């Protein structure tokens, strides 16, 4: 900047030699800067109003690789195509979410911030308010210290001009003495800001975790609702950035305000000392600052929207990474690295495009901001400082005062000038921080939108209110699903029976409907009593697993009634075992008792010997011999596919539920072990609801539910021949 101004000075001098005054040159310079800015601001509007045919095109191209960014290779063209599709999908999604307000400084932002504020500071007297009070006290002390240091520096200069060595040494000592509390307060401010950010984050995290695990929200948000793509990113990164941003904003807004107030008063006092008008300077500075701030506000890009979109794209990139880590083995077997890399590159490019967009928008904004802050305000400051001297009565050189007091007047004026200059520098710094805070507030609006939006979605999904791009409401629904405001209404009822004598599961005219509102089975009516071992068959995609999802309460019921026994403590009514079992983080013992904890196990009075017996029942005793029950291992990788399935069945024997929902859960288990597992389950009094394609399992069932894949079904008792189907097939 200094080099640039020197260069400008030199050109101005040359112009002066050629007959053009410096004033005229500066006018020309400022006019060209304003002209450049006007062109920059207006060009996007001009270029955004093309013909209708171009309109759609330009919309789709937003955020897509521009031709200059591709090297024209096949891969890049494919990438651009894929990205175009992605953006199209997002635009479609945006259209459906039209009612959602864009992030920015508006009423919605204030509402959301207040809501989050209540979570971060739940009471008038709490840990957070304590931190805030100490923080505020430190901020005020810092301002007083700055003013005191400015006054000391003024006095130092005064005694230098007077050549008063004794006084100079005394004030210098004071100046050093104040450095210790000043640096401590500075460090304390940073420390308290970090503590405050962490405290806010902890409150928000606890609240959102509570919501995330309420009513199986972790499943509902990603499977039944389409508003949040990467809940993990919002729960970690976004909350952290939001909390830090709020804590930082508190100090970057309050400190400059204190500074300005107290520095203004100090400046007025020293102006009064110089017997000058105390209103002219402040009035001038306030008008200049108000005007420049207004201009900055008008031309400021929508940082809230921009950072919100950036966070979105960053979240998506992380999502792709975590998918690759989770499915590394499958991808490696397929050799799918090309496709995966393409998707990663695509996600990264979208993030880069957004960041570039923000950088280029910032370039012009920061230029204008710096121009106002560094030049316009410095000029105004110089006028403010000189006004009391130029217009003040004090120190005016009247003939009587010429000789004796002249020297003292000069030193007084020097002291005033130094103090005022220091104070003005602090004030300018405070205003600059205030102005930059505006950008931070707008960025905060983006994070507030994401965090508050996430909590709103969690609240809604917990109550069964979902929003997802579904198939259009059409005649095929046959009145099965009712829509209100484009959203399907779950009119069906789940009735929990408390009668221990009536432990049946019954469905009355319940349709099987997917989260996309596709009707798989229009109406299903059946009653499963204890001891009715049900075999569920049908072609792929006919709704077998979906029936389990409905029975477990994961999918909403759009009509009819579902009667299920109320889960009794310590003994679940239904226990689901999937084809791909889930291995939790923990020891071998934790795997068997999942989802119980060690405390639950102790309460149920189950010891290690019983766990060993359970492992024997599923032929996994060798695992217990190999490892102790308490060694924590990554069981997902250690156990083979069949072993994992057997471990899942071990859980069934540990929990001993009334009903077992077995979704091809023994497909990788050898037939002899599978048979002994089914025998054991039946002997324990567990009623089996089995989805399987293996004829060897028919004999363990008494009833059959057959889906035809076209929406029809048949529920009947199996005859003896059918139960021995295995023998016919041999």
Ligand X SMILES: Nc1ncnc2c1ncn2[C@@H]1O[C@H](COP(=O)(O)OP(=O)(O)OP(=O)(O)O)[C@@H](O)[C@H]1O
Chain residues that interact with ligand X, rule: CB under 6 A: 223, 514-516, 520, 538, 540-546
Cis ω before 595 (30° cut-off from 0): yes
Q: Which is nearer to ligand X, 281 or 556 (CB)?
A: 556
- The Cα–Cα gap between 305 and 103 comes to 5
Residue with tokens 């590159």: 345
Minimum CB–partner distance for residue 709 and ligand X (Å) = 8
Alpha carbon distance, N-terminus to C-terminus of the chain: 89
CB 417 within 8 A of CB 381: no
Q: DSSP 3-state assignment of 527?
A: strand
Measured distance CA(26)–CA(16) in Å, rounded: 11
Q: Which is nearer to ligand X, 411 or 470 (CB)?
A: 470
CB nearer to ligand X: give 226 or 565: 226
Q: How many Å apart are CA 104 and CA 305, to the nearest integer?
A: 7
Cβ distance to ligand X smaller for residue 301 or 709 = 709
Distance CA 100, CA 109 (A): 12
Find the length of the chain.
730
Min dist. Cβ of residue 88 to ligand X (A): 21
| Minimal distance, residue 468 CB to ligand X, in Å | 9
Least CB distance to ligand X at residue 520 (A): 5
DSSP bridge partners of 160:
none
**Least distance (Å) from ligand X to the CB of residue 707?**
7
Nearer to ligand X, 444 or 542 (CB): 542
- 394's CB contacts (< 8 A; 6+ apart) are 273, 274, 275, 276, 409, 412
Cβ nearer to ligand X, comparing 515 with 657: 515
Min. distance of Cβ 706 from ligand X in angstroms?
A: 12
Q: How far is the CB of 679 from ligand X (least distance, A)?
A: 25
Q: In angstroms, give the least distance from the CB of 466 to ligand X.
A: 11
Give SS3 for 509.
strand
**CB 712, min distance to ligand X, A:** 14
Characterise 464 by phi-psi region: left (phi > 0), alpha (psi -120 to 50), beta (else).
left
Pick from 419, 407, 307, 287: which is nearest to 357 by CA?
307
d(CA 528, CA 621): 34
Provide the 10 A C-beta neighbour count for residue 386.
13
Cis peptide before 217 (omega within 30 of 0): no
Residue 492 or 515: the one with the smaller Cβ distance to ligand X is 515
Report the residue number, 258 or 698, with the smaller CB distance to ligand X: 698
Q: What phi-psi label fits residue 275: left (phi over 0), alpha (psi between -120 and 50 degrees) or beta?
A: left
Q: Which is nearer to ligand X, 327 or 516 (CB)?
A: 516
Name which of 352 and 465 has its Cβ closer to ligand X. Answer: 465
Contacts of 370 (CB under 8 A, 6+ apart): 1
Identify any residues that bridge with 392 across adjacent strands, giving them in sequence order.
none
Comparison of 450 and 544: residue with beta carbon closer to ligand X: 544
Q: What is the C-alpha to C-alpha distance for residues 91 and 248, in angstroms, rounded to an integer?
A: 34
CB 521 within 8 A of CB 709: no
Question: Shortest distance, CB of residue 469 to ligand X, whole angstroms?
Answer: 11
Q: Tell me the closest approach of the beta carbon of residue 440 to ligand X, in angstroms.
A: 40
Interstrand relation of 493-497 and 561-565 (parallel, antiparallel or unpaired):
parallel
Those residues with Cβ within 8 angstroms of residue 561's Cβ, 6 or more apart along the chain or in another chain: 492, 493, 494, 495, 507, 508, 509, 510
Residue where the block lists tokens 């101004």: 5
Nearer to ligand X, 444 or 520 (CB): 520
For the CB of residue 513, give the shortest distance to ligand X in the complex, in Å. Answer: 9
Q: Strand runs (DSSP E) across 420-518, as ranges? A: 482-484, 487-489, 493-497, 505-513
């Amino acid at each position: 900047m200094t080099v640039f101004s020197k260069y400008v000075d030199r050109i101005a001098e040359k112009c002066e030699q050629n007959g053009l005054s410096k004033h005229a040159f500066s006018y020309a310079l400022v006019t060209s800067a304003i002209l450049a800015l006007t062109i920059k601001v207006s060009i996007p509007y001009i270029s955004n109003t093309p013909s209708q045919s171009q309109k759609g095109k330009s919309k789709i191209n937003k955020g897509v690789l521009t031709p200059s960014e591709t090297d024209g290779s096949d891969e890049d063209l494919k990438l651009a195509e894929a990205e175009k599709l992605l953006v199209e999908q997002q635009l479609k999604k945006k259209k459906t979410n039209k009612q959602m307000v864009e992030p920015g400084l508006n009423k919605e932002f204030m509402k959301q911030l207040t809501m989050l504020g209540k979570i971060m500071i739940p009471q008038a007297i709490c840990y957070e308010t304590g931190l805030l009070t100490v923080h505020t006290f430190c901020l005020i002390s810092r301002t007083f210290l700055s003013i005191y240091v400015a006054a000391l520096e003024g006095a130092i200069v005064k005694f230098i001009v007077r050549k008063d060595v004794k006084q100079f040494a005394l004030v210098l000592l004071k100046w050093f003495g104040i450095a210790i509390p000043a640096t401590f307060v500075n460090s304390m401010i940073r420390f308290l800001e970090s503590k405050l950010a962490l405290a806010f984050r902890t409150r928000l995290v606890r609240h959102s975790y509570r919501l995330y695990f309420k009513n199986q929200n972790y499943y509902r948000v990603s499977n039944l609702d389409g508003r949040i793509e990467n809940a993990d990113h919002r729960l970690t990164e976004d909350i952290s950035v939001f909390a830090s941003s709020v804590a930082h904003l508190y100090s970057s807004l309050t400190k400059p305000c204190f500074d300005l107030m107290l520095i203004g008063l100090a400046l007025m006092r020293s102006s009064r000392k110089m017997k000058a008008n105390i209103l002219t300077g402040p009035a001038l500075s306030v008008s200049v600052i108000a005007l420049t701030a207004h201009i900055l506000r008008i031309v400021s890009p929508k940082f809230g929207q921009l950072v919100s979109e950036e966070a979105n794209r960053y979240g998506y990139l992380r999502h792709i990474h975590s998918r690759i880590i989770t499915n590394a083995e499958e991808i490696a077997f397929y050799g799918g690295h090309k496709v995966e890399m393409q998707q990663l590159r695509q996600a990264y490019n979208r993030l880069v495009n957004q960041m570039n967009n923000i950088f280029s928008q910032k370039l012009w904004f920061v230029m204008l901001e710096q121009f106002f802050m560094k030049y316009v305000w410095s000029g105004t400051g110089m006028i403010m400082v000189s006004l009391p001297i130029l217009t003040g009565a004090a120190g005016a050189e009247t003939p009587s005062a010429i000789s004796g007091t002249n020297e003292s007047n000069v030193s007084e004026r020097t002291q005033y000038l130094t103090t005022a200059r220091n104070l003005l520098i602090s004030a300018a710094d405070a205003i600059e921080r205030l102005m930059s805070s505006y950008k931070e507030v707008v960025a905060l609006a983006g994070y507030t939108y994401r965090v508050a939006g996430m909590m709103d979605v969690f609240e809604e999904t917990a109550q069964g209110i979902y929003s997802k791009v579904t198939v259009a409401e059409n005649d095929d629904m046959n009145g099965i699903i009712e829509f209100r405001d484009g959203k399907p209404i779950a009119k069906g009822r789940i009735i929990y029976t408390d009668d221990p004598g009536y432990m049946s599961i019954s469905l009355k005219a319940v349709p099987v409907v997917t989260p996309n509102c596709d009707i798989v089975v229009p109406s299903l009516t059946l009653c499963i009593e204890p001891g009715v071992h049900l075999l569920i068959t049908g072609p792929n995609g006919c709704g077998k697993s979906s029936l389990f999802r409905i029975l477990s309460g994961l999918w909403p019921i759009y009509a009819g009634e579902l009667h299920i026994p109320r889960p009794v403590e310590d003994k679940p009514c239904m226990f689901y075992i999937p084809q791909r079992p889930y291995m939790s983080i923990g020891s071998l013992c934790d795997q068997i008792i999942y989802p119980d904890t060690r405390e639950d196990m102790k309460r149920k009075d189950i010891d290690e010997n019983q766990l060993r017996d359970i492992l024997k029942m599923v032929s996994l005793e060798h695992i217990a011999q190999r490892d102790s029950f308490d060694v924590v291992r990554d069981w997902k990788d250690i156990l083979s596919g069949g072993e994992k399935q057997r471990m899942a069945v071990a859980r069934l024997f540990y929990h001993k539920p009334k009903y077992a929902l077995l979704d091809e859960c023994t497909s990788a288990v050898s037939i002899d072990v599978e048979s002994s597992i089914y025998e054991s389950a039946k002997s324990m009094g567990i009623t089996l609801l089995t989805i399987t394609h293996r004829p060897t399992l028919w004999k363990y069932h008494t009833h059959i539910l057959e889906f035809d894949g076209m929406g029809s079904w048949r529920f009947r008792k199996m005859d003896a021949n059918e139960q021995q189907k295995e023998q016919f097939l041999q």
